[in-house]
Structure 1
Amino acid sequence: MTQAHSHASHHGAQHDHHRHDHHTQHDHHREDDADQAEILDLDAEVLAEHIASITAWLPLKTSPRHIVDLGCGTGTGTFALLDRFPEAHVIAVDASPEHLQRLRRKACARDMDDRVRTVQADLDAADWPDLGTPDLVWASASMHHMADPGHALRNVHDMLPSGGLFAVVELAGFPRFLPEGAPEDRPGLEDRLHAATDRLHAEHMPHRGADWGPMLTAAGFTLDGERTVTVNIDGTHSEAIGRYALITLRRVRGAVAETLPAEDLAALDRLLDTSGPGSLLRRDDLSVRTERTVWAARRT
């Protein structure tokens, strides 16, 4: 959950408000959702070690048995939590039926289908479905999508029992992949892409990059810990990183193409041309660099 860099999101694929033909719109959303799902899966593969370190850090007093994953996407957090807590069951909540179907297929393939229940829901709706009384609620890269995050925070607070934990994981924008000075024909391109997406998100997702600590305490939680995880993975460590960079920057292009100078757009297209000599997939100097911050808040 889906912004320039797609992560687990209760909204699923972003809507293209400029399309009016119903069938064209439906096909576009299906393609967009599939594209987003691939990024979520690549994100899980490339950043598995870092996600596991966050689940290991959570200040839990006992191992949770009932977990809710809000804005679960294709299951990055769901499966990290199931691996971390082998006695736990997870209710995975997302607005996208395609993402939930993909998650269920993974659960069956891992022989975990008896430990996962999926729920399709719009978390901006006034009334949430009954998600029981979880020991732990996990929301990774989904809270900043909320139209009214205060409403969502209060719902989570009311859902948790005394002592229950809420983990909010948020991102410092989409990752950077290119080394400094690249691409050689248009240095600084990635910085300008970041600036363009930041402007877009400031307008459409004002809570992206927010400090969730004060909002959690305002909703009645006691903040029990905060941690920032720095990610810097050499591209030679995983063949998936080139594909991760390609599909992420392809989505960035779709979001900001109209605002880019022609020279930047042409340079980006050369990186995205998988058959061209300047393709991202031909580079041996890629890396994944980003940060994730997690807030752990307890209902007292």
Structure 2
Amino acid sequence: MAHHPHEPHADQHTEGHGHDHGPAADGHKHGHGDGTAIDWAEMAPHLEAQAELFTPLYERALSWLGKEVTEPGLIVDVGSGPGVVSCLFAETFPGARVMAVDGSAPLLERARQRADRLGYGDRFGTLAGELPAALGELDYPADLMWAGRSLHHLGDQRAALAAFAERLAPGGTLAIMEGGLPTRFLPRDLGFGRPGLEARLDALQEEWFARMRADLPGSVDESENWAALLDAAGLKHTRTRSFLLDLPAPASERARAYITASLARLRDVYGDSLDPDDRAVVDRLLDPKDEAGVHRRADVFVLAAHTVHTAVKPVR
């Protein structure tokens, strides 16, 4: 399976649990049923654009990690997708080797191309395979392992964390990005339609996410107490912190393109579930000729918060 950062209106995406985990946001590939299947290779350009837009958030998170993990030898990006964040790790930790691990070979090829283009190719590797089993193919344990909004795409999250911990070096750090707040693009009152459109879209995304989780192979219901789950994996939970992306209005062209793609995907996925009036509002928002649409209006923005939890493997 492929995993990538995910946003609610995008990741990947990405969460009434306080995260963005709708189909328009998730950066992960899985063959789910009942309308939850996602073609992550097809979504690659959107995933890259999303991660690039969210780079300031990731840079702050990696800088924070760097205060705990100073000179890692091997960094493993679990569910790397097209490698945008993997390459940020290579930039942040110039002495480290970075291994991008994902279930999608096409996405890993994009990761490899990005690393080569940015000059990190000599210390950048890729590993394709189903997670978490693919981690058993690592040549040696990781000093830093990152799972950016990918863990929730594994059926048994408790077992996955135990598998992650097994591939950590003693004293190594596992960092998972799970939880946060739903991303917002729009004012509550758009000036047409019923106020609160994004809150209603959140409710649809929560239903989609629950179905997606239930459809995963070996799915196990689990309380999302990440600190407790990390401790149960034999690690010592050390820190939790949330990171903000605040791109205020008026949005840049790149932000508008991301917002447009995210809303379009939500419309495609939730079209039959949307209230007819809300569907008409979304259609109008996506009309490039409409002054009230996201292509033209001056009050669209991107505001998101993602949470990172870290834990260390004890030195026996």
TM range, smaller chain: 0.7 to 0.9
Check if 1:236 corresponds to 2:250: yes
1:187 partner amino acid: P
TM-score, normalised via structure 1 length: 0.86
Partner residue of 1:263 out of 264, 274, 277: 277
For residues 14 and 250 of structure 1, the distance between their equivalents in structure 2, rounded to whole angstroms, comes to: 21
Contact 1:223 1:296 in 2 (8 A): yes
Query: Which residue in the other structure is 2:106 paired with?
Result: 98
Q: 1:269 to 1:76 in 2, by over 3 A?
A: same
Cα displacement (A) at 1:51: 0.7
Number of the residue aligned with 1:112: 120
Can you list the C-alpha shifts for 1:55-95, whole angstroms capped at 9, x where unaligned?
11114253112110000011132111111111111110111
Deviations 1:107-154 (A, max 9, x none): 121121112111111115598433521110011010111111122111
Contact residue 184 and residue 198 of structure 2 kept, 8 A: yes
| CA distance, structure 1, for counterparts of residue 222 and residue 108 of structure 2 | 24
1:1-300 equivalences in 2 (<5 Å): 1=4, 4=8, 5-7=10-12, 11-12=28-29, 15=32, 29=39, 33-34=41-42, 36-58=43-65, 59-123=67-131, 125=133, 128-130=136-138, 132-172=140-180, 174-182=182-190, 184-205=192-213, 210-236=224-250, 238-300=252-314
Gaps of 5+ in 2: 14-25, 215-220
Aligned-residue identity in percent: 31
RMSD (Å), alpha carbons: 2.8
Query: 2-side partners of 1:18 and 1:213: how far apart?
Result: 31
1:217-240 per-position Cα deviation (integer Å, ceiling 9, x unaligned): 011110111101233221436321
1:169, 1:292 within 8 Å by CA — same for their partners in 2? yes
Alpha-carbon distance in 2 for matches of 1:271, 1:209: 36
The number of aligned residues is: 290
Query: Would you tell me which structure has more helix in proportion to its own residues?
Result: 1
Change (3 A) 1:17 1:185: closer
Counterpart CA distance in 2 for 1:128 and 1:80 is: 24
Q: Distance in 2 between matches of 1:61 and 1:125?
A: 25
SS of the residue 1:205 aligns to? helix
